[in-house]
Structure 1
Amino acid sequence: MDSVAVDWDDAHWLNPPAGAERDEDALVVTPVPGADFWRQTSYGFTRDTGSALLTDLPSGTAVEVTFEADFDTLYDQAGVFVRVDERTWVKAGVEVTDGALHVGAVVTRGVSDWSIAPVPEWAGGPVTVRVSRAGDALTIRARPADGPWRTIRLAPLSPDASATAGPFCCSPERAGLRVRFTRFVLGPADAGLHENP
């Protein structure tokens, strides 16, 4: 299987954003203020209102999304969203928290589980997030520009689950975030957990 670019018009929105406009081959997305994805843990609320542009993610495939934005407000975020249903999903990418850009993932199986690591040096440039589906797992990797891949998370996903995936963004604390998505590609899954794509 060769890698294939997903046409923006061939994917479908889960919760349309406030705006989405073409800029040559890129898609510039403005999320709805206050929208987010989260289930219960610590905060006590459930939000299933963030915007994600999704296509099928069968086992044996991987999705890669490249994007850039001026992330500067608490919880500004973008990356890849993988969804089975409202109780089973993963979002992975970058997010502002504690005054700095972080890379991480939220894995939700009934309730949300959040892991992050600071990457202030990634701010201001393009970021690529890759989610590879093989067997009973999602392997999540990310990198800045053309830098080395960093493994972010290994998360469970039933081999029998029907899942969709694609770019997402949210800005729960403000209006005006604009995320420029420049790449949305499907290809073969990673050859192994410890092998770079």
Structure 2
Amino acid sequence: MSRPELVLASASPRRVELLALVGIVPDRIEPADIDETPLKDETPPRLAARLARSKAEAVAARAPDSVVLAADTVVAVGRRLLEKAADEAEAVRFLKLLSGRNHRVFTGVAVAAGGAIRHRVVEARVSMKVLSGDEIAAYVRSGEWRGKAGAYGIQGRAGAFVTRIVGSYPAIVGLPLHETVNLLAGAGWRAE
């Protein structure tokens, strides 16, 4: 019996790279196009879980015989969500807010297979050093913040801003590997 097709419901190159670290290569990449607007009074972990499940459901509806893997990452300072910055000014505001503070990163991961969806949310805590105006300006000029929750990518230049992590580094990058491998195994899909 052949293994079912694995579809990654994400356009994130970081997720593809993380999967490759554990020997997983998706058969197909098909980003889900869903509304990612938070619901009224939705907490950050619930948002991460809902978005991951919704992405998996949307792609599974188009690929019912496949195993679909989806994820979403949410950055929060308290209950305040820091989504993907819309422009440079918002990226500067986000980085000023994160400067010298602790924040939480929630990554929801979901696997849809055989009509069922299994999911997990992984929380990591991140501490950032106090950032100077010059550091923020240089980082924003780099453009690395684009398309990233919280307006930073820990796997790039912003890694130099991080003083402490409690939790899963891959989850902060965008995909908790331990939980992902276990969810795929639970759905009957294993790397060869």
* Greater strand proportion: 1
Instruction: Select the structure with the greater relative contact order (CA < 8 A; seq sep ≥ 6).
Output: 1
Answer with 1 or 2: which has the greater Rg.
Answer: 2
* Greater helix proportion: 2
Q: Give the structure-1-normalised TM-score.
A: 0.29
Q: Give the structure-2-normalised TM-score.
A: 0.30
